[in-house]
Structure 1
Amino acid sequence: MLFQVKMDVHIPLDMPSDKASEIKAIEKAYSQDLQRQGKWRHIWRITGQYSNISIFDVESNEELHNILQGLPLYPYMDIQVTALNRHPSSIREDDT
């Protein structure tokens, strides 16, 4: 199942910078592991924002939910999830 996920990050301004850096480093490792597994297929920054648009390829809604809740920055995020389906006009066979 493919999902588009928009993540807006709002780290508290009073969070110590060393703590924020530690959380970001753990988040990076977590996301890169999911990318290697093929579950986090794409990630793009949104210019001018502390946000990203990502594409996930997971087995179920619950799997995506668990992945998102496992993000170290999850407590500081606003997340919007959109389920995606293959478009019948697509010429690509590998976009499922």
Structure 2
Amino acid sequence: MLFAVKMDVHLPADMDPDVKADILAREKAYSQKLQKSGVWPHIWRCAGQYSNLSVLDVDDNDRLHEVLSQLPLFPYMNIEVTPLATHPSDIALLEQDS
């Protein structure tokens, strides 16, 4: 199942710089592991924001929750999830049927 996930990050202004660096390093490693495995096939930065818009490909809602809740930045995020379905006007689908 594909999900569009918008993640807005809100780190405390007074967060210890060493703690921040550690969390960011762990976040990057975890997200890149998920990207390489195909769970996180797309990630884009939202221009001008400390946010990203991603597509995650997981088996079900429970797996999505597991993946998201294990993000090191999870305690500092507001997350919006939108389940995705194929669109009948998608030319990629039309080309597959040909």
Offset of residue 17 of structure 1:
1.0
5+ residue gaps, structure 2, are none
What is aligned with 1:35?
35
Identity %: 59
Measured in 2, the distance between the counterparts of 1:59 and 1:74 equals: 20
C-alpha distance after superposition, 1:32-70 (max 9, x if no partner): 000001000100001111000000011001000000000
Pair 1:21 & 2:4 matched: no
Measured in 2, the distance between the counterparts of 1:86 and 1:21 equals: 39
5+ residue gaps, structure 1, are none
What is aligned with 1:84?
84
Measured in 2, the distance between the counterparts of 1:17 and 1:64 equals: 30
What is aligned with 2:71?
71
Higher helix share: 2
Question: Which consecutive segments of 4 or more residues in structure 1 shift more than 4 A?
Answer: none
Matched residues, number: 94
Q: TM-score, normalised by structure 2?
A: 0.93
- When Rg is computed on C-alpha atoms for both structures, the one with the higher figure is 2
